[in-house]
Amino acid sequence: MNLILVLEQTLNGLQLGVMLFLMAAGLTLVFGIMNLVNLAHGSLYMVGAYLATYFYQATGSYPLGVLLGLAGTMVVGIVVELVALRTLYEREHLDQVLATFGLILFFNELAAILWGRAAIYTTLPDYLTGHVELFAGLRYPLYRLVIIAVGLAVAGLLWFVVARTRLGMLIRAGASNVDSDRGVCSYSNRRHRLDPRRAGGRPDRRHGRYARPRVRAADARDRALADRRRRRRAGARLDADLPADGDRSRAQAPGAVSRARMNPRARAIVLTMGLVFLAAVPPVAALANQPFYLDLVRRIMIFAVAALSLNLILGYGGMVSFGHAAYLGVGAYAVGVLAHYGIYNGFLQWALAIAASALVALVIGAISIRTSGVYFIMITLAFTQMLYYLGISIEEYGGDDGMRLAVKSQFPGLVDLNDANAFYYLVLAILVLALFVGHRLVNSRFGLVLRAAKSNEARTRSLGFSPYPYRLAAFVIAGAVCGLLDAALAADPRAAPGAVGALPQARPRGIALRQE
Amino acid sequence: MIGTNAGPHELAGKMCNELFFTTSWQNDDTPEAMGKVMQDQGITDVYVMAPNYAAGKDMVNGFKRSYKGRIVDEVYTRLGQTDYQAELSQLRSKNPKAVFVFYPGGMGISFLRQYSEAGLRGQFPLYSVYTVDEISIPAVKHAALGQYETRYWSPDLKNPANQKYVSDYRKKYGKMPVFYGAQSYDGILLIDSAVRAVKGNLADKKGMIAAMRKADFASTRGKFSYNTNHFPIQNFYLLKTVTGPAGQDPVMEIQKTVFTNHKDSYYKECPLR
């Protein structure tokens, strides 16, 4: 430790902070003022980086590339707003999350189609490379200093606009009190729509870009105002016949009702056909000499059980958990750790997997369920990330590489998992059991309370039920089912050599909705 | 199964399999060669950096097997990391005599660029494995100049098979081939030689294995033979990135042979004989 290192790391921290600020500034506007959960914010960042790189390479001029990249991203932002986001303002956070997650997938694929999957590298112009000797011994890359300067300039500009101009006053008024703001500026409707373009053109360091957020904050506020007004009107109508948070459940209710009212005979036929189909897969696959389909359907069934358990808390409990993958990881690690110490007894392994997942679900649930809505999403996501980093940092259990299972769980005298058919039917049995138990559960008194709490928490309370223990119980049950599943997944021949630890890694990745 | 790239130590040792052949290398080989170069040059106080995953650790283990001098620090970074500024600051403060890194693919591009930008290029000599190659040179250009690498193959290796491969590749794709291509090219030749040996009778697994063990094909690396664990016994060279022909990217050139007919360090653990 010496002074130069401290100074240099301080600069590094400042530079990283400025980068994050540039990203967060736009998101704050969208989420903070417009109350729109835009998971695709990072996609616009990505689009900005790609466009700027593309234009830079096409024109050969760095400043021109950045400018065109900014303009291009702005256009993309406007299009996204017109096509997709505009329909989302009045909807629930859950709808926004799903729709913007779809946008992420869309943009990722689009970028892959247009530019390929490999990262594109670009070089900085000569006048931005190299380093500056700030004083004896402290050399710092010029480009990073430029990023800091640009970021601070943007921050200063934002501060000036928000704190010192009439526009800024209106924004602040809009953020804190919609009514007063509405009174002040009734002209807002006429003005331009908001687009999330301020998200775009942001630097992706890998591509070596920086950009200034274009804050058309007034537009943001106007847009938000118009929407809130509309929502209020709509809300007032809803309030008349439905309690406050009932609109979403009402939207889903018809589906649930029709499902429940499905002709019992038709239902029995569908179920039987499905079962027969699944049961027939191994002999058919064997006849066709295509063992691949056996594996495939088994994996589908395993994930179907995972979806069932998620449905219990999400579909019936109304808890949008992004941490569901964590229990899968915990279950896999339970099996892996026991195997690591030479314990291959499947009864013990699977029991521990279930118990460990249930315990983790209990802890996460006990904390998370105290929140709701978008905060619940965030906190479960945060827990998943914590577990993920815990997993990759335990060297004893494989760290980043995960664990390898040399021997599958053994169930002496019951079933041999090395026999693909036996394993398949075991998974099928688990699926049927999960369907049956799930069905009984959601139609039991417990399930009814859970569903009631979802559709109207206040009314449920007034009936004398506290939703918290019911939700927590559902959360723990779902976690335990996942633990069982992952014990099964870990025994999956394809997962086995591919490292158990890769599971917690792969899943939160998939679910964490990040731009990589 | 034919592997044409990564060579984890498990596959070369305890978990070796008679059905598995590789036309590349065992992970530890190349850094072992670099460790020997640095050991022979009498370099002390080396700072070691690699991504935190199986191959990263194999590489550092290989390096330490032949380099016996002092290691100032061993730093493992996140796999796929793109920003190394914090680690580079740390490196500078430790003031080592030399730096050894393993950063394959995109990580190498980011690392080399930032190493130069931070002004470390002139300060601490950088030695690497799998970091500078014909893929990364077009991206980093002069940031790679003067870089030392060890490798089993190089485009300027003088043998007929390699010269044909390099000129055919340049004709078809208009750029320099990279070692990944050379070892995959060898992989196809290996399969071809085995299929010919059994006269297309692919059910003859024993015959295929026996034919593959002979490695009877004109490899791009010249002489090529298999060890008992089905990993190649081959030479390793010291390469340096030097200025290319006028107006073109830098190229890598062989400086000297480090290992002749090198066997990996794990074959004795392999039960195959």
| Nearest by CB: A400 against B52, B86, B119 | B52
- B85/A144 Cβ within 8 A: yes
Phi and psi dihedrals of B235, rounded to 5?
A: -85, 155
pLDDT at residue A184, as a whole number: 53
In B, minimum Cα distance to A122 occurs at B139
Q: ipTM of this model?
A: 0.71
Q: What is the pLDDT of residues B169-204, one digit of tens each?
A: 888 988 888 888 888 988 898 888 888 888 888 888
CA–CA gap between residue A156 and residue A136 (Å, rounded): 30
Q: Considering only CB atoms, which chain B residues are within 8 Å of A141?
A: 85, 114, 117-119
**pLDDT of B116 strictly over 50:** yes
Token reading at B187: 């992989």
d(CA B114, CA A419): 52
Half-sphere exposure of B197 (CA within 13 A, CB side): 20
CB distance A209 to A52 below 8 Å: yes
Residue A192 pLDDT exceeds 70: no
Please give, rounded to a whole number of angstroms, the shortest distance from the CA of A343 to a CA of chain B.
20
- State the Cα–Cα distance between residues A28 and A34, nearest whole angstrom: 9
> Average pLDDT over chain B, rounded to whole?
87
| pLDDT at residue B49 tops 90 | yes
Handedness of CA B208, B214, B215, B216 (dihedral sign): negative
pLDDT confidence of A497, banded at 50, 70, 90?
Answer: very low
Q: Tell me which of B85, B111, B132, B136 to substitute to probe the interface with A (most A C-beta atoms closer than 10 Å).
A: B85
| Min Cα–Cα distance to chain A from B72, Å | 14
For an interface test with A, the pick among B53, B60, B93, B109 (most A C-beta atoms closer than 10 Å) comes out as B93
Identify the contact set of chain A against chain B, taking CB-CB distances under 8 A.
1-2, 4-5, 8-9, 12, 15-16, 118-119, 121, 123, 129-131, 133, 139-144, 205-206, 399-401, 516
Mean pLDDT of the B57-84 span? 89
Mean pLDDT of the A21-42 span: 80
Average pLDDT of chain A, as a whole number: 74
Over its C-alpha atoms, chain B yields an Rg (Å, rounded) of: 19
- Placement of tokens 């360091």 in the chain: A205
Task: Assess whether pLDDT exceeds 70 at residue A246.
Answer: no
3-state secondary structure of A174: helix
Confidence of residue A194 (pLDDT cuts 50, 70, 90): very low
User: Residues A111-142, buried b or exposed e (16+ Cβ, 10 A)?
Assistant: beeeeeeebbbbbbeeebbebeeeeeebbbbb
* Contacts made by residues A27-32, CB under 8 angstroms, sequence distance 24+: A27/A199, A29/A198, A29/A215, A29/A217, A29/A220, A30/A196, A30/A199, A30/A220, A32/A175
Residue A175 confidence (pLDDT): 65
Query: For A167-176, B198-207, B229-238, which range has the lowest pLDDT when averaged over its residues?
Result: A167-176
Distance (Å, whole) CA B269 – CA A17: 50
pLDDT at res. A213: 39
Beta-bridged to residue A133, according to DSSP, are A139
Q: Which of B53, B90, B117 sits opposite A129 (nearest CB)?
A: B117
In a mutational test of the B interface, the residue from A1, A10, A121, A392 whose CB has the highest number of chain B CBs within 10 Å is A121
Report residue A134's pLDDT band, with 50, 70 and 90 as the boundaries. Answer: confident
State the smallest CA–CA distance between residue A237 and chain B in angstroms: 52
**Is the Cβ pair A5, B90 closer than 8 Å?**
yes
Minimal-distance CA residue of chain A relative to B87: A9
**Minimum distance, in Å, between the CA of residue A144 and any CA atom of chain B:** 10
In 10 A of CB A176, how many CB atoms?
Answer: 10
**Cβ–Cβ under 8 Å, residues B106 and A121:** yes
* A234 pLDDT above the threshold of 50: no
Query: Nearest residue of A to residue B55 by CA position?
Result: A401
The nearest alpha carbon in chain A to B82 belongs to A206
Rounded-to-integer distance, Cα B205 and Cα A423, Å: 29
Residue A511 above 80 pLDDT? no
Question: Residue A249: pLDDT band by 50, 70, 90 thresholds?
Answer: very low
pLDDT at A105 over 60: yes
Question: Residues of B with CB below 8 A from A129's CB?
Answer: 116-117
Residue A92 has pLDDT above 60, yes or no: yes
**Contact (CB<8Å) B54/A401:** yes
- pTM, to two decimals: 0.65
Dist CA B37 CA A220 (whole Å) = 61
- Amino acid found at A369: I
Contacts of B54 in chain A (CB under 8 A): 400-401
Sign for the CA dihedral angle at A307, A309, A314, A316 comes to positive
- Count CB-CB contacts under 10 A for residue B125: 18
Q: What's the count of helices (H) and strands (E) in chain A, helices before strands?
A: 19, 2
H-helix segments, A319-466: 324-340, 346-368, 373-393, 420-442, 445-455, 457-462
Q: pLDDT digits over A331-370, tens only? A: 778 887 887 787 777 788 888 888 888 898 898 888 888 8
A:B CB pairs within 8 Å = 59
| pLDDT tens profile B125-143 | 899 998 888 888 888 877 8
Per-residue pLDDT at A191: 37
Nearest-CA distance B101 → chain A (Å)? 19
Distance (Å) from the alpha carbon of A132 to chain B's nearest alpha carbon: 9
- Identify the weakest region by mean pLDDT among A371-375, A456-460, B62-66: A371-375
